[in-house]
Amino acid sequence: MPELPEVETVRRGLLMDLPGDTVLRVQVLRPDSIGCPGWREFCRAMAGHTFQGIGRRGKYLLFDLDRHAGLVVHLRMSGRLLLREAPAPASHLRVRMILSSGRELHFEDMRVFGRLWYVRPGQSWEAVVPALAELGAEPLDGLSGAQLAAAFARKSQPVKSALLDQRLVAGIGNIYADECLFRAGINPLRPAGDLRPGELDRLASCIQQVLTEAIDLGGSTLRDYTDSRGVNGNYQEESWVYGRAGEPCRSCGTPVTRVKLAGRSAHFCSRCQPCKRARARISGRRA
């Protein structure tokens, strides 16, 4: 699933190319890709709007349209937003917007979990996509240890699971949770509420560092993700632990460990990120 760095990379790419372009016509090839309103009304409503600014909240893209309207896009598992020269071949095309520049904005989505929502003039983003109101702290907006302390207070769940909870911190997924915790020297199995103030300060700083570095590298391409021009990301080639189970830690040489955690994988170095609970988990004893 595209995480914050991938979504931010798409946002920055589209921000260079899309503002000022007007939607002439919309074609919906997969009606369930439209979250709101119905797909026919979506086509009618979007036609004639000009793209202005583009924002982001967590993993959601927020497009400012003229006349105080908007468009929300969530890529979810395999969605891609691509500016293509028209006509252009496209695989898994779900929504096609013909633009005044002669180009087309394509929403392509192999697994069909992504969604687009039209925000009528005067409506708020949250009124149309209620999940936006539930998102936690934005990692790149000066995230602090104090904010993490408030989010993790009395949480007994593993800190890896807490980082994946979008209500606590917005935008972090499986890849970058592992990477941030490694950078901070914190084991993913430790209870979130047990982290000390100094550890939370370090984790907040590492989250911002890792996400910024990932954005600079265009995000991670493990399967479907590309930026708005169809270019793959490169962060996966620089990852410290994610996807490197059994390989030597880039810091100390200890083989990277992979365990299952709430149905997801967690990668860590048992030496750089020590934890009694992790040792018990690896040895098969009750944690």
pLDDT value, residue 276: 73
Catalytic residue (choose from 120, 155, 202, 264): 264
Angstrom distance (rounded) from CA 228 to CA 84: 9
Q: Is the pLDDT of residue 19 over 50?
A: yes
Q: Give yes or no: 281 in active site.
A: no
Q: Is the pLDDT of residue 284 over 70?
A: no
pLDDT value, residue 229: 74
Percent of the chain with pLDDT over 70: 94
Residues 6+ apart with CB under 8 A from 100: 21, 22, 23, 24
pLDDT value, residue 287: 36
Q: Comparing 158 with 234, which gets the higher pLDDT?
A: 158
Q: Give yes or no: 3 in active site.
A: yes
Quickly state the pLDDT bin for 262 (edges 50, 70, 90). Answer: confident
Mean pLDDT, residues 102-120 taken together: 96
Q: What SS3 string covers the chain?
A: CCCHHHHHHHHHHHHHHCCCCEEEEEEECCHHHEEECCHHHHHHHHCCCEEEEEEEECCEEEEEEHHHCEEEEECCCCEEEEEEECCCCCCCEEEEEEECCCEEEEEEECCCCCEEEEECCCCCHHHHCHHHHHCCECCCCCCCHHHHHHHHCCCCCEHHHHHHCCCCECCCCHHHHHHHHHHHCCCCCCEHHHCCHHHHHHHHHHHHHHHHHHHHCCCCCCCCCCCCCCCCCCHHHCCCCCCCCCCECCCCCCECEEEEECCEEEEECCCCCCCHHHHHHHHCCCC
Mean pLDDT, residues 51-79 taken together: 97
Q: Is the pLDDT of residue 2 over 80?
A: yes
pLDDT value, residue 29: 96
50 closest CA partner among 11, 24, 73: 24
Q: Give yes or no: 121 in active site.
A: no
Quickly state the pLDDT bin for 278 (edges 50, 70, 90). Answer: low
Q: Is the pLDDT of residue 132 over 60?
A: yes
Catalytic residue (choose from 59, 94, 115, 183): 59
pLDDT value, residue 285: 41
Q: Is the pLDDT of residue 282 over 70?
A: no
C-alpha distances (whole Å) from 100 to each of 33, 61, 112 are 23, 22, 27
Q: Is the pLDDT of residue 249 over 90?
A: yes
Inter-axis angle of helices 197-216 and 4-17, to 10 degrees? 40
pLDDT digits (tens, 9 = 90+) for 187-220: 999 999 999 999 999 999 999 999 999 999 988 8
Q: Give yes or no: 250 in active site.
A: no
Angstrom distance (rounded) from CA 69 to CA 49: 8
**Measured on CA atoms in the order 95, 114, 103, 46, is the torsion positive or negative?**
positive
Q: Is the pLDDT of residue 59 over 70?
A: yes
Look at the block and give the residue holding tokens 């000066």: 142
pLDDT value, residue 109: 95
Catalytic residue (choose from 2, 139, 158, 188): 2
pLDDT digits (tens, 9 = 90+) for 22-46: 999 999 999 999 999 999 999 999 9
Q: Is the pTM of this model over 0.95?
A: no
Angstrom distance (rounded) from CA 265 to CA 205: 23
Strands 115-119 and 34-36: parallel
